[in-house]
Structure 1
Amino acid sequence: MNITEYVKKDFDASLYYGWMSIKGGYTIANANEAVYRYVGNNSARSIMHIIHPDDVEEFKAALEKLDDEPQHMFLRILCFDKEYRVMYTVVSYNGRIVDGFRSFDMELCEVMRSFERLDHNAGLVKKYRSIMSYSENYYFDYDCLTGEFTLFNYVNGMYNNIIKKKPLEELEKETVARTDLDEMKLAQFKLFCESLKKNINNIDLELDGAVFDMDDRNLRFYGGFVIDNKRQSLISGVVSAYDKKDGRQSTEKYYMSSAAIDKATGVYNKRAIEEIAKLSLLENKDRVYIAIFDIDDFKLFNDTYGHMMGDKIIEGLAKISKDVVANRGYVGRFGGDEFVIVTDKVKTEEEFIYVLKTIRKNLDWRFREQFGEAKLTVSIGIAMSPKDGTMYEELFEKADKSLYLAKEKGKNRFIIYDERSERIHTGDSHKSGFRLSDDQYQIANTLLDMLLVIKKDQSKIESVLANMVKDYDVDYAFIYDMREGFPIYVNEDLVVRPPRLTSEILSEVESLGDKNGFFTTNRLANIQDNYPNMYKFFDGIGSNGFVFQKMKKRLFIIGFNQKLRKWSNYDKGLLSVFSRAIDDILG
Structure 2
Amino acid sequence: MISLPEAVMEKIAKYYNVNADIIVSEYMNIVKADESLFMFLGETSNLIFTHAIYPEDVVKFETAIKEVDEGEQVYVSIRLKSRDSDYRWMRVFIKPYHDKTSGRYYNLEITDMYTLKRQNEELKQISEIQTEFLSIIGDYLFTYNISKDSLRIILPGNGNQTIVLYEGKLGVWSSDKLDNSMIDSHSIKDFEGLCMAIASGEPYFTRDIKMKLADYDEAAYWYTFKGKRIHRNDGENIIAGAISLTQNKEYPAEDVSVQDELRDAGTELLNKKAITNYAKKLIDKRVNHKVTIAIIDIDDFKTINDTYGHMFG
> Fold-level match, TM-score > 0.5?
no
Instruction: Considering Cα pairs closer than 8 Å and 6+ residues apart, tell me whether 1 or 2 has the greater RCO.
Output: 2
Task: Choose between structure 1 and 2: higher helix proportion.
Answer: 1
TM range (shorter): 0.3 to 0.5
Q: Give me the TM-score of the superposition, normalised by structure 1.
A: 0.23
